Amino acid sequence: MADQYIVFGVILLALVLFASGRLRHDVVAVSCLMVLAVTGVVQGADVYSGFSNPAVVTVAAVLVLGAGLRASGVVDVMGRSLTRFTGSMTSEVFVLSLAVCVLSAFMNNVGALAVLMPVGIQLARARGRSPAYLLMPMSFASLLGGTMTLIGTPPNLLLSSFRGEAKGEPFAMFDFFWVGGPVALVGLIYVAFIGWRLLPERGADTGEDVDFDVHDYIFELDVPSDSSLNGISIGAFQERYPDVQVLQIVRGPHVINAPADARVLRPGDRLAVEGADDDIRRLVEHTAAISVSADDHPEATREAARILVDAEVVVGSRSSLRGRSAADAGLRTRYSINLLAVSRQGRKVIRRPSEMKLRAGDVLMVSLARPQVETLIGELGCYPLRVQEREVKRRRAIPAVGIFAGAIALVVMGTLEVQVAFVAAALLMVLVRVLPLKDVYASIDWPVIFLLGAMLPVGLALESSGGAETIANALGASAGGLPAWAVLALLYLVTATMTDIVNNAAALVLMAPIALGLAAQVGIAPDAMLMTVGIAASCAFLTPIGHQSNTLVMGPGGYAFGDYFRMGIWLQLLVGIVAIPMILIVWA
C-alpha cells in the first residue's frame, strides 16, 4: 500500500508540473522516474527498461524517416503544388488541412505541420487574408491524422505496446484506421466548413504582423577616417547606441556577419546597421559616419547582400531558445545570427528584441548567413515560416519514397515487425545517402524519447503497485450499471481533458493501465478501452499547451489562449460522438 501512495504522489506532482509548464516534459518525466527508483518502487533493473521498449525505438526511427522524406524535397514540392487547388477560404482550409492530415498519418505530427505551415502563410498573404484562419485548422488536422495509423503519433505506438503485453499481440499498422479514418474525415469537414468561422475576426494587422518589414530599418554606413567610430569595439558601440544593431561589416573583400563584441571598427569599414530612422540619424550626427545611398553600392556590398539573408522562423516548444533572451543564448556571439524583430501573438517588437525572454510560438525575424539557416532550424529548434524553394533531386527522392513505402508494406504484410522494419529503413536512408549521418541524430526529438523512456516505467509502477487497479475499482463502482457507450464516453472525457494540459504520451501511459483494469471491472473488451484512450490522447484541441502543433501556430496565427477552446471544444465533442460508436462496432 505504501508503494501506491508513493506512486499516486509522484503522478499528482507530475500532473501539476506538466500543467504549469515550468519544467520541460522530459525533465519532469525523468525526475518522477528517479523518485520512484530511489524509493524502491521501481527496481534498479527496470529503471531504464522504457528506453529499450520497441515503441520508443520505433518513434526514433519514424522521426528519422520523416527527416529523410523532407531532405529529399518531395514533401516541399507536394506542399507548393497544393495551391493550385485553392480559391475560396473553405477550399484553402480543406485542401491544406487534408494534406497535413494525410502526411501526419505517416510522419511526425509537428513535422507534417512544419512542412506545410509556410505554404499556408504564403497563401494567406497572397490572398490578403489572415493566416489565423488557416493555421489552427492545419494544427488540428495534424492531430486528426495521427489517429489513423500505428506510426501516426507516439501514443499509438505506446498503446500497441500495452496491448501486446496484455494480449500477446500488438496492434497492426492500419488497425487504427477503422476508427481514426471516420474521425479524421468528420473532423476535416468540421474545420473546413465550420471551425475556421468560429475564430475571432482578425484585422489586417494580425494577418500581416508576422510579415516583418524591417528593411525600412536597415541602413548602410561608411566609417571615414575622421569618424568617432574609429577604434571602438562592437561591444562599446552597442553600449553607446543600444537601439542600433551592427549586422555586418564589409571590410574590403571580406564580409563579417554578426561581428563579435571584441571586433574593432576601422576607417573604410562599411556597416549594415538596423534601427529606427531617428536613431540612425542621431548616430550619423554624433559620429560623422556617412549614410550610403542604396544606389551607390560597390560590388563588395552587393556580394554581402547576397550572402546575408533574412528569415522568419517560429520558436518551437522544445527550442533551446525558450526562456532565454537572444543575448543569453548567444544567438549573435555564438551562432552569428542577428535578431531583428520579434512578434508575439501578433504584436511586433522591433526595438531591443535581443533583451526579450523568448517563448514557444514567438516569431523571429533574423538576418544570417545562408549556412546558418540549418543551424537555426536544427540545433536551435525553430521552424521556418517562409517557403524554401527546394528542388526535388531524383537521386534522393526515389530512394526515400521507395524505402519508406517498402517499410510500410513489410509491416502490413507481416513480414517484419514494425520496430525492425522502420529501424532498417532508417539505416537504409543513411546508407544510400538520402540523409547525412549528422542529420540522423539531429532529426530525433530527444526530449520526446526521454519522456517516453522515463514515463513507461512510471506507468508500469502504477500497475505493479496496484494503483491502477485501485483507480479502476473506484471507477468501476461509480460506472456500475452504465451502458458500454457511457463508460467509453467517461473514459474519453477524462483522457481528453488530461491530454489538453499534459503531454499526450504521458496521458496515455497513465490512462492505459487504468483502462485495462476498468475493462475487467465493467466487462468491456480491453481493445475497446485501449482504443478509446488512444483516440482521446490525440484530442488536445482546447489549449495551446496540449500539443506541440498547437504551440507552433500560436505566434504566427496571433492566437489568444481562448481561441483554441472556441474552435476546439466542438471538435473534441464531435470526435467523441463519432469515435465511440465506431469503437463499439469494431472493437467491442
Q: Which of 541, 536, 574, 582 is nearest to 187 (CA)?
A: 574
- The pLDDT value given to residue 295: 42
Whole-number pLDDT of residue 123: 83
Q: Cα–Cα distances in Å, from 575 out to 164, 187, 356?
A: 26, 7, 39
pLDDT at 565: 93
Asked if residues 275 and 395 have their Cβ atoms less than 8 Å apart, the reply is: no
Res 209: pLDDT: 45
Give the integer Cα–Cα distance in Å for 17 and 22: 7
Report the pLDDT value the prediction gives residue 177, as an integer from 0 to 100.
95
CA distances in angstroms from 138 to 154, 494, 569, listed in the order given: 19, 25, 16
What pLDDT score was predicted for residue 537?
93
Domain residue limits, the chain: 2-206+442-586, 214-305, 312-384
Alpha carbon distance 254, 415 (integer Å): 58
pLDDT number for residue 581: 96
Q: What does the DSSP assignment read for 238-296?
A: HHH-TT-EEEEEEETTEEEES--TTPBP-TT-EEEEE--HHHHHHHHHHH--EEPPGGG
Positive/negative CA dihedral, 566, 583, 494, 99: negative
* Distance, CA of 59 to CA of 70 (rounded, Å): 17
Contacts with 202 (C-beta within 8 Å, 6 or more apart), sequence order: 130, 132, 133, 346, 558
- What is the block-wise mean pLDDT of the chain (588 residues), using blocks of 10 residues? 86 84 84 92 87 89 85 72 77 92 89 84 81 92 94 91 88 94 96 92 46 61 87 88 84 82 89 80 82 49 53 81 85 81 72 77 80 72 66 69 91 90 92 84 84 88 85 79 90 91 86 89 91 94 87 84 92 96 93
Fold of 214-305: Alpha-Beta Plaits (3.30.70)
Check residue 233 and report its DSSP letter.
Answer: B
**Cell for 569?**
471544444
Same fold flag, 214-305 and 312-384: yes
The kind and range of the H/E element at 382 are: strand 382-384
Superfamily of domain 312-384 in the CATH hierarchy: Regulator of K+ conductance, C-terminal domain (3.30.70.1450)
pLDDT of residue 561: 84
Please tell me the distance from the alpha carbon of residue 180 to that of residue 575, in angstroms, as a whole number. 9
Element (H, E) at 367: strand 363-369
Q: What pLDDT score does 344 carry?
A: 78
Q: Which residue's C-alpha cell is 483554441?
A: 564
pLDDT for 207 equals 40
